[in-house]
Structure 1
């Protein structure tokens, strides 16, 4: 007999296969961000200006990887380097106006895609699902030691 945890493992595997919602909903030309850019911009948005070191800690990624990612986002006009607002030595990255616009457009595209997927779900089921996902994610974050900032 399969345990409920086995069922979660299977559904998590299938969910990971579908994690990129860009295939669910057509987007206007040029509005789609790469997954890594969307995640990085979302983290800077949630936490505020961040240094390379802070990003490295947040994502458990090598500094060289983040240097490449942030350089690409800076070249695209989505991030800018600023002096540390708290007076520290390390310069930090923050969203530009264009970065904010593109991130907001991407989030809205994700919400539209999820609305299509859950079109026949009652609002209370969507709220319960969101609560379970948060609980699941905070459990991972507790074990991993890298919580995502939430309101």
Structure 2
């Protein structure tokens, strides 16, 4: 591993700290009506943006095996956050979609996270926040390009894209 030290070493370290701070924030100080686990939050977020998905579609999207997704989807169904429905496109596989309660819990969780970011970034200008979001988006979309697993993005108003 010779050669000059690239700034990616700094990115690695800051990314490690960011994941630590994020996880500590999620575990501590939970003073709101939602209690979504991280896996449920990510799963419900994907269903909101993409719409109903089958286990095989979720497996492809997340790069996880079907047994892991069966456990995760069973948990959100038991909690009333998602439901199994016939494929709207007429396919054989049943799909999962958000329930009204799932939408509500996801909105509560997202608002709590955004409120926390507002506290952290209180001294940042809107331009700085937008630039940071742009760099994060670029970073994530480059990872998605390399892995072949693009993640759909909501519209600028935070709503799911309409087909």
Q: Tell me which interval the TM-score lies in, with the shorter structure as reference length.
A: over 0.9
* Aligned with residue 90 of structure 2, among 82, 87, 108: 87
Distance apart, 1:14 and its partner CA: 1.1
The answer for the alignment partner of 2:26 in structure 1 is 22
Deviation at 1:124, TM superposition (A): 0.5
Contact kept? 1:25, 1:109, Cα under 8 Å? no
- Alignment partner of 1:45 is 2:84: no
- Indicate if the aligned counterparts of 1:50 and 1:93 stay in contact, CA closer than 8 A: yes
Compute the displacement of 1:27 (Å): 2.4
TM-score between the two structures when normalised by the length of structure 1 = 0.93
Over aligned residues, Cα RMSD in angstroms? 1.5
Residue 18 of structure 1, CA deviation: 1.6
Partner of residue 104, structure 1: 107
Question: How does the TM-score come out when normalised to structure 2?
Answer: 0.87
1:72-124 superposed Cα distances (whole Å, 9 cap, x missing partner): 11011001000111111101000001001000111101100110111111110
CA contact (8 A) 1:37 1:73 kept: yes
Q: Please list the CA deviations of residues 20-69 of structure 1 after superposition, one character each: whole Å capped at 9, or x if unmatched.
A: 342576422x4121001000000111100000000011111110111111
How many residues get paired? 150
In structure 2, stretches of 5+ residues that fail to align are: 156-163
Structure 1 segments (4+ residues) deviating >3 Å: 23-26
Output the CA distance in 2 between the equivalents of 1:27 and 1:2: 43
